[in-house]
Homo-oligomer: A and B are copies of this chain.
């Protein structure tokens, strides 16, 4: 395959543990398509080194002194003209930082227990395209989301069409009169529907009903 199309992939390693950096360097340099251009032991250092060396890829640890990997990622992507692809390295799959890293604009993820081959593949892929590499972690996060969205609370099915409409409008902050004019019925009718909604949701006022609607995912956050 066409691994080396000329220049090597220039990598910067950012990790506060020297041993980790050494290990990563050893793995990458065993392939001649990589060149470890520099190292950094803190987030601030990482930003400086990247600004200086303009590498293709940065392997960024999340937990680092002074400035953590997430904020370093943000700063790099915000301030460097042609920013590198950044691969965030985490220890635990279910690390809450995964979200943060995504937001910050990371191009990939890697677990510290990944083997050498995975590391090589990841760096190579990230260098060539914008793809995101994900550990299994994301699967559970996505499942969580999906679960929250899908959990069908008992009362949802029992709402009549009109009641559902009214609840949705309640959840936008409208008063009964506003809902009435919106759906073209009298205010008294809306009151009736609201009363039904309160009964079926087991709530005592519109505020609680709206809360229930949100908690049930009945309205999208």
Q: Which residues of A line the B interface, CB within 8 A?
A: 1-3, 31, 99-100, 102-103, 105, 114, 117-118, 120-122, 124-125, 128-136, 138-139, 142-143, 145-150, 170-173, 175, 203-208, 210-211, 214-215, 217, 221
Q: Would A131 and B135 count as touching, CB distance under 8 A?
A: yes
A197 to chain B, nearest CB (A): 13
A198 to chain B, nearest CB (A): 12
A78 to chain B, nearest CB (A): 15
The distance in angstroms between the C-alpha atoms of A214 and B139, with both chains bound, is: 25
Q: Chain A contact residues: over half helix, strand or loop, or mixed?
A: helix
The distance in angstroms between the C-alpha atoms of A127 and B102, with both chains bound, is: 24
Residues of B with C-beta under 8 A to A134: 131-134, 138
Q: Would B133 and A128 count as touching, CB distance under 8 A?
A: no
Given contacts A121-B128, A128-B117, A139-B132, whether A148 and B221 have CB atoms under 8 Å apart is: yes
Q: Would B129 and A132 count as touching, CB distance under 8 A?
A: no
Contact of A139 among B102, B117, B124, B139 (CB under 8 A): B102
Closest to A148 in B: B221
A180 to chain B, nearest CB (A): 16
The distance in angstroms between the C-alpha atoms of A119 and B173, with both chains bound, is: 48
The distance in angstroms between the C-alpha atoms of A138 and B3, with both chains bound, is: 27
Q: Would A131 and B122 count as touching, CB distance under 8 A?
A: yes
Q: Would B100 and A146 count as touching, CB distance under 8 A?
A: yes
Contact of A117 among B2, B99, B135 (CB under 8 A): B2
Residues of B with C-beta under 8 A to A3: 1
Given contacts A121-B125, A173-B211, A206-B207, whether A136 and B146 have CB atoms under 8 Å apart is: no
A156 to chain B, nearest CB (A): 15
